[in-house]
Amino acid sequence: MLNIHIITLGKLKESYWKNAELEYLKRLNPYAKIKITELKEEPFTPSDSVLKIKQKEAQKIQSLISNIQSPILIALHEKGKTYTSIQLAKQLETLSQSGQQIIFIIGGPKGLDKSILDLTTHHLSLSSLTFPHQMVRTILLEQIYRSITITKGKTYHY
């Protein structure tokens, strides 16, 4: 069984994102233990330093993951590696064989600080397009579910 922790900056505000997330969590329940931790995003104005905002958010992420023993850290990042769904399924299957917790980190609207990118062992891009970070949560959960159905030979991915 996959042991996944999704760390995300910001909360799901719209009910349609919450409902989509609940649907995928329900589908994933037989196959994976999924934990989602929402961290408060740093408020900002156009005149605020993006670097300082990212650094403050990075401190929150680092304090959370510092208590977890030997996790596999995956940053969702625009310059991360892209996979087909079948390749991602194989990658998740390989990573899960270690028994370590897999932690996906989703940044806030300004992205992830370099310190988090340097700390993570893998960088994943879900697309070369830019999505709102709330949408990324749903896309990530769907791709995890798709990966599991591919690995288990279930009828979902065609």
Question: Is the pLDDT score of 100 beyond 90?
Answer: yes
pLDDT mean over 37-48: 93
Q: Give the number of domains in the chain.
A: 1
Q: Which residues are 8's β-sheet partners? A: 38, 106
What are φ and ψ of residue 156, in 5° steps?
A: -150, -45
Query: Which DSSP symbol is given to 77?
Result: E
- Confidence (pLDDT) at 21: 97
**pLDDT, the chain, mean:** 95
- Looking at the domain assignment, is residue 73 inside a domain? yes
pLDDT mean over 74-91: 96
Which structural domain range is residue 39 located in? 2-152
- Looking at the domain assignment, is residue 158 inside a domain? no
- Looking at the domain assignment, is residue 53 inside a domain? yes
Question: Does residue 143 or residue 67 have the better pLDDT?
Answer: 143
CA angle 62, 29, 67 (to 5 degrees): 20
Q: Strand 102-106 and strand 32-39: pairing?
A: unpaired
Please give the structure tokens belonging to residue 155.
Answer: 């009828």
Percent of the chain with pLDDT over 90: 85
- Looking at the domain assignment, is residue 32 inside a domain? yes
- Looking at the domain assignment, is residue 83 inside a domain? yes
Q: Which CATH number characterizes residue 85's domain?
A: 3.40.1280.10
Q: What is the pTM for the complete model shown?
A: 0.95
60 — pLDDT class (breaks 50, 70, 90)? very high
- Confidence (pLDDT) at 115: 97
- Looking at the domain assignment, is residue 109 inside a domain? yes
- Looking at the domain assignment, is residue 157 inside a domain? no
- Looking at the domain assignment, is residue 16 inside a domain? yes
Tally DSSP H helices, then E strands, for the chain.
5, 5
Rounded Cα–Cα distance for residues 117 and 16 (Å):
30
Give the pLDDT confidence of 104-132 residue by residue, as tens digits. Answer: 999 999 999 999 999 999 999 999 998 88
pLDDT mean over 33-57: 94
- Confidence (pLDDT) at 87: 97
